[in-house]
Amino acid sequence: MTTVLVNGLPGSGKSTLGRALAAELGLPLFSKDAVKETLADRLAALRTPERDRWEWSRVLGAAAGETLWTLLRDARGAAVLEAPWLGDPARAIVRAGLDAAGVGRAQEVWCDVPLALARRRFEERIARRHPVHPERPGEPDDRWAAWARTAAPLALGPVHRVDTTRPVDVPALAAAIAADALTAAAIAADALTAAGPATNPRDAAAPRGVSFTSQ
């Protein structure tokens, strides 16, 4: 099975790359924003007056995030997941989600882009986003200062750093991901053969960090 986490700052190109990569790999794409926006459309009547737009966004965002792991479990770990998993708490959340989905090893695609460029891209599209997203044009957003300090790959497994300031060679990226998955599967199979059924396949293949540069 191949589990791919597409991660990065808002405005880093995750959604665009996630769609193209999922199609290239022949895997389903599970996007946190897509789930969140669907929940917002269907559950709007449940929003109470005391919930401001930020709290409502957090509630639906948490539900959407948990839904990704359920979908991944049903897909038997073969999927591309796309979301902004940023900051120290995200690492524990994602590890717990992967465990709940029965996934011991996931590859990560980190959309590498300067924070200033990601922020400019993000702010340019705010007015066009689904209204469940609480940001509004011209309003201050302190989260960017925090992301400047903490945004980095989760590094729970192999990391493919992709320069998303320019077009990405998606077939080459998909080939690197597929090759890594095959190598990990072969290592796990060899370890099981050598050690017997008591070996945990999750421990058989050590994560390998890699860097990917588009051409």
CATH (domain of 90): 3.40.50.300
Q: What is the pLDDT of residues 6-57, one digit of tens each?
A: 999 999 999 999 999 999 999 999 999 999 999 999 999 999 988 999 999 9
Paired sense of beta strands 79-82 and 3-7, if any: parallel
pLDDT for residue 212 = 55
Domain membership of residue 92 as a residue range: 3-211
Q: What is the pTM of this model?
A: 0.86
Domain count, the chain: 1
Q: What one-character-per-residue DSSP string does 143-169 give?
A: HHHHHHHH-----SS-EEEEETTS---
User: Rounded mean pLDDT of 187-200?
Assistant: 72
Q: What is the pLDDT of residues 93-121, one digit of tens each?
A: 999 999 999 999 999 999 999 999 999 99
CB 7 within 8 A of CB 110: yes
CB-CB neighbours of 213 under 10 Å: 12
